[in-house]
Chain A
């Protein structure tokens, strides 16, 4: 994202909206391009009033002379100073991972992950005895560079993680057997990116142990999620395995009700 300095009147409304805290005002707003993840939230959130910048500056100067101040409503950019420049590789991965209104070219899916258990009743992605594990790096609110994500993916590949082929992170891997990512994306920062894999219930403690070990030195934060197909009476198969690994299950989560079916079985 960029700010047109000719249009910006320095109202500062874009500063708190930025998900990465990458905007500051120095007379006019400036975007720290290295920290910006191209999520586009600032531009979507702020309504454009379309006022003439010279007029706004003049009014503010007159008001200031009388020790008065005019503050634009919080969700307004008075002059429409924010704009999205065309992005090229590798910076464009920032947008495809961070902006929920974009679709990944590789997977055709919006967002950062896949359908995972949301459609498991139809796709059968996770069968009996299988468990899905997800590590979402950078969320909430801090972001992650792919070089950090690679530390996790390579460590997990070492213990034989099978990465979800439709996940956009997997598409950035030069070799899913090693978890290594394309060299030119390593310094790119995104709001969050998800490593998605499946294993067996028995191996859950081993996977969580590796994630724990790598995560101890992480500069950012990450969330872990676990999913599975339930037993015939709705039993959750991974409760003991998670406890054995020393983790606590959340109170809330997603429940797939099993009401879906294939259109052409």
Chain B
């Protein structure tokens, strides 16, 4: 359900972007895993995630729900995810998730070396990793880097280039606050892995630098 691999950014601004998620393996441990997914999200909620999501959000799109309602609506398929904007929260959530021994695949998207360090501190040796090797092909058609940084935080790329550009423009003109713009930008991301806290910072930076 989540495709968090392509999140663009600098080392500095990616330090505010960690996705912790669990993913049942279909046919291996997915049967009846709903309580475990709920338990995972309940643990994450204790550490102030900036967003959460699960497969249920994809099944009932467009229904506004609180984080607590999202936890209650978890289904026993697909993944459940929580987004943190700081390392301390991630570490605390991971520690408790590990202690809960859910038996479900647990993944962190973030700076690879930083995540490795977090794992080692938690007594975990990473099992598998995945990197991306950049965007290629007709890259002249791509939006500016700032737009890509925000667009790529949606797991399925549903935050359009034009919407991001429009929000940057409206923030610059003072028609909307960066916080409100970030909340609007999070809305097309149905799987809940968009990081509105980081989006707010990126929008503020764009305003300060006068970017289009």
Provide the bound-state CA to CA distance between A16 and B188, in Å.
Answer: 12
Which one, A44, A226, A242, A257, contacts B124 given CB within 8 A? A257
Contact at A255–B157, with CB atoms within 8 Å? no
Bound CA–CA A57/B102 (angstroms): 56
CB atoms of A140 and B135 under 8 A apart? yes
- Alpha-carbon distance A221/B107, docked complex (angstroms): 27
Give chain A interface residues in 18-64, CB to chain B under 8 Å: 18-21, 39-41, 43-45
Once bound together, how far apart are the Cα atoms of A111 and B11, in whole Å? 28
Contact assessment for B28 and A119 in the assembled complex, using a CB-CB cutoff below 8 Å: yes
Contacts of A126 in B (CB 8 A): 128
**CB of B125 within 8 Å of the partner chain:** yes
Shortest Cβ distance from residue B36 to the other chain A in the assembled complex, whole angstroms: 10
- Which residue of A has the minimal Cβ distance to B55? A110
The CA-CA distance from A223 to B141 in the complex, in Å, is: 14
A-binding segment of B65-73, B108-116, B198-206: B108-116
A75-B184, A115-B25, A257-B119 known; A140 vs B58 contact (CB < 8 Å): no
Question: Chain A 238-265, CB within 8 Å of chain B: the 1/0 string?
Answer: 0000100001111111111111111100
Q: Is B160 an interface residue (CB 8 A)?
A: yes
Which residues of chain A are near B24, meaning CB under 8 Å? 119
Chain A residue contacts of B78, Cβ below 8 A: 110
Distance in angstroms between the alpha carbons of A180 and B156 in the assembled complex: 26
B105 touches A220 (CB 8 A): no
> In the complex the two chains form, is B138's CB within 8 Å of A220's CB?
yes
A242 to B184 CA separation, bound complex (whole angstroms)? 38
Q: How far is the CA of A256 from the CA of B110 in the complex (A)?
A: 11
B111 to chain A: which residues have CB within 8 Å? 251-252
Whether A74 sits at the interface, judged by CB under 8 Å, is yes
A229: chain B residues at CB < 8 Å are: 127-128
Point out the residues of chain B lying under 8 angstroms from A211, CB to CB.
136
> Quick one: which of A53-109 are within 8 Å of B by CB?
74-75, 100-101, 108-109
Residue pair B138, A219 in contact (C-beta under 8 Å): yes
- Which residue of B6, B61, B158, B184 is within 8 Å of A19 (Cβ)? B158
A15 within 8 A of B: yes
Residues of B within 8 A of A242 (CB): 131, 133
Q: Tell me the bound Cα distance from A60 to B86 in angstroms.
A: 47
Per CB-CB distance, the 4 closest pairs between chain A and chain B, nearest first, are A258-B127, A260-B105, A227-B130, A119-B25
A259, B163: Cβ atoms under 8 Å? no
Given contacts A16-B160, A39-B158, contact A222 B135 (CB under 8 A): yes
A252 proximity list for chain B (CB < 8 A): 7, 9, 14, 17, 109-112
Residue B51 is within 8 A (CB to CB) of chain A in the complex:
no
Chain B residues with a Cβ under 8 A of chain A: 1-7, 9, 11, 14, 17, 21, 23-26, 28-29, 31, 55, 58-59, 61-62, 78-79, 94, 97-98, 101-112, 115-116, 119-120, 124-139, 141-143, 148, 151-152, 155-158, 160-163, 165-166, 184, 187-188, 190-191
A258 to chain B, nearest CB (A): 3
A221 B142 Cβ-Cβ under 8 A: yes
Q: Which residues on the B side are within 8 Å of A16 (C-beta)?
A: 160, 162-163, 165-166
The smallest beta-carbon distance between B109 and chain A, in angstroms, is 5
Contact A259-B134, Cβ < 8 Å, known A100-B190, A227-B129: no
- Nearest residue in A to B59 (C-beta to C-beta)? A101
Q: Taking A100-B158, A109-B26 as contacts, is the C-beta distance between A251 and B58 under 8 angstroms?
A: no
B126 CB contacts on chain A under 8 angstroms: 230, 234, 255-258
When A118-B23, A142-B141 are in contact, do A257 and B14 touch as well, CB less than 8 Å?
no
Q: Let me know if A191 is at the binding interface, CB within 8 A.
A: yes
A-B CB contact pairs (8 Å), 26 listed? A41-B188, A44-B188, A100-B58, A110-B1, A112-B3, A117-B128, A141-B143, A141-B151, A222-B136, A223-B132, A223-B134, A223-B136, A226-B132, A227-B130, A234-B119, A247-B134, A251-B14, A252-B9, A253-B131, A255-B112, A257-B94, A258-B124, A258-B125, A259-B97, A260-B104, A261-B29
Minimum distance in angstroms from B22 CB to a CB of chain A: 8
Which residues in A have their C-beta under 8 angstroms from that of B130? 116-117, 132, 225-227, 253-254
For chain A, residues 183 to 237, give those with C-beta under 8 angstroms from any C-beta of chain B: 191-192, 208, 211-212, 215-216, 218-230, 232-234, 236
Point out which of B124, B133, B190 has the most chain A C-beta atoms below 10 A from its C-beta: B133
